[in-house]
C-alpha cells in the first residue's frame, strides 16, 4: 500500500470516528447506526465495515481514542505545575468545554447504556472512570500536602464523588444547554474542598 493510500485510509477512519463520537455524545451508543454515519459522510456502509468490522469495534475505538485524548488533557494540566485547586478547576473546565458543544462526556453517555454495551467496550468505559478517579485522587492528595485542600475520608472516594458531581451536573445542565449551571456546580464542588492557606 502506498503512503498516500494509507494516509487516505487513516483520514477516512478519523472522519468516521469524529462523526460517530458526536452522534454518541448527542444520542447515545444505541441511538445511532452505521447507516447514520455513512449518510453523513456520503459513503456506503461497506466502506465503514472496511475500517471497523462492526459497531462494537467502532465503539471500542471511540472509547480508546476519547480516553487517550482525555489523558493527554490531564497530562497538560499536570505539566503546568499548578496547585491542586487550579488542577481541579482545569478538570472541571474540560466538562464545560464538552457541554459548550452541546455534547455530553462520551463515557458518561456510555455509562448510562453500560448494560447493553459490547463486553470489551464496557471494560474500556470502566477503565476511563478508574483512570480519572486515580488522577483526581493524586491531585487531592497533593492538595492535602500543600494545605490547599481539606476533606475527610480516602482520596479515592472523594475523587469518585467529585467526578460524579461533575457528570451529574453536566447531565442536569444539558437540557437547557446552560453552562452557568455546570459552572455553579463546579464552583460548589471546589469550594467544598478548598481551604484558606495562611
pTM: 0.89
Give me 161's grid cell: 464523588
Say what the pLDDT of residue 51 is: 94
Write down the domain spans for the chain: 55-191
What is the Cα–Cα distance from 4 to 112, expressed in whole angstroms? 40
Q: In this structure, what DSSP letter does residue 194 have?
A: B
Residue 194: the pLDDT is 86
Other residues' Cβ atoms within 10 Å of the Cβ of residue 160: 17
Total H helices, total E strands in the chain: 9, 0
The predicted pLDDT at position 192 comes to 92
User: Alpha-carbon distance 118 to 3, whole Å?
Assistant: 33
Confidence of residue 104 (pLDDT cuts 50, 70, 90): very high
Q: What is the mean pLDDT of the chain?
A: 91
> Among the residues of 42-83, which ranges form H helices?
45-51, 55-79
Q: How far apart are CA 125 and CA 114, in angstroms?
A: 8
CATH number of 55-191: 1.10.357.10
**CB distance 183 to 93 below 8 Å:** no
Per-residue pLDDT for 130 more than 90?
A: yes
Phi, then psi, of 101 in degrees rounded to 5: -90, 15
Query: What pLDDT, in 10s, does the model give residues 15-67?
Result: 999 999 999 999 999 999 999 999 999 988 998 999 999 999 999 999 999 99
Amino acid at each position: 500500500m502506498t503512503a498516500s493510500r494509507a494516509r487516505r485510509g487513516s483520514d477516512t477512519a478519523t472522519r468516521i470516528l469524529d462523526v460517530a463520537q458526536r452522534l454518541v455524545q448527542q444520542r447515545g451508543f444505541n441511538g445511532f447506526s452505521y447507516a447514520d454515519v455513512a449518510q453523513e459522510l456520503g459513503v456506503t456502509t461497506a466502506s465503514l465495515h472496511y475500517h471497523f468490522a462492526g459497531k462494537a469495534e467502532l465503539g471500542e475505538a471511540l472509547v480508546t481514542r476519547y480516553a487517550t485524548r482525555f489523558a493527554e488533557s490531564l497530562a497538560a494540566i499536570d505539566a503546568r505545575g499548578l496547585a491542586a485547586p487550579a488542577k481541579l478547576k482545569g478538570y472541571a473546565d474540560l466538562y464545560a468545554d464538552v457541554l459548550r458543544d452541546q455534547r455530553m462526556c462520551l463515557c458518561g453517555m456510555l455509562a448510562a447504556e453500560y448494560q447493553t454495551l459490547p463486553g470489551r467496550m464496557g471494560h474500556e468505559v470502566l477503565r476511563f472512570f478508574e483512570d480519572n478517579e486515580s488522577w483526581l485522587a493524586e491531585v487531592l492528595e497533593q492538595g492535602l500536602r500543600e494545605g490547599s485542600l481539606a476533606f475527610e475520608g480516602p482520596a479515592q472516594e472523594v475523587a469518585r464523588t467529585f467526578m460524579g458531581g461533575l457528570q451529574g451536573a453536566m447531565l442536569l445542565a444539558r437540557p437547557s444547554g446552560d453552562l452557568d449551571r455546570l459552572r455553579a456546580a463546579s464552583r460548589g464542588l471546589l469550594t467544598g474542598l478548598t481551604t484558606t492557606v495562611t
